[in-house]
Structure 1
Amino acid sequence: MRKTFTLEYWIDDDWFVGRLKEIPSVFSQGETLEELEENIRDAYQLMLDTEPVLDRPDIKIKEIEVGA
């Protein structure tokens, strides 16, 4: 399933550095904006691949609002 996120980025010592606004722990860099985008996608996929899976039949899901 594809999702859309907001990439926040800036230039630091000639490197494009960025993070996903909705998931600030997904952070990367690249020599070009295109390379940063590719690296951010890889970092996001790595986060998904290493996320523990809870195998419990009693887990429920509820969407909530947080913040101001």
Structure 2
Amino acid sequence: MRTTKIVYWQEDELWLGYLEEFPDYWTQGTTVEDLEEHLRDLHADVTSGELPGVRHVADLTLA
């Protein structure tokens, strides 16, 4: 089983969040569990290779 980092917060009645590696793509849910399910679906979409122009965030090792 793999893991990925997410960023999430509550705004009014909704939970909002995004995958740390793909901060341009946000989703929402009515509960944290609902949000997590939407984030799983979002991960599948952005890593499928079918969406053009997906921007990534990554670490860069410097000398």
Common fold by TM > 0.5: yes
Instruction: State percent identity of aligned pairs.
Output: 33
The match for 1:31 is 30
Contact 1:28 1:36 in 2 (8 A): yes
| Greater mean alpha carbon deviation, residues 27-36 or residues 41-50 | 41-50
Select the structure of larger CA radius of gyration. Answer: 1
Greater than 6 Å deviation, 4+ residue runs: none
TM-score by length of 2: 0.68
Structure with the larger RCO, 1 or 2 (CA within 8 Å, 6+ apart): 2
TM-score by length of 1: 0.64
Contact 1:26 1:40 in 2 (8 A): no
Question: What's the C-alpha RMSD, in Å, of the aligned pairs?
Answer: 2.3
* Count of aligned residue pairs for this structure pair: 55
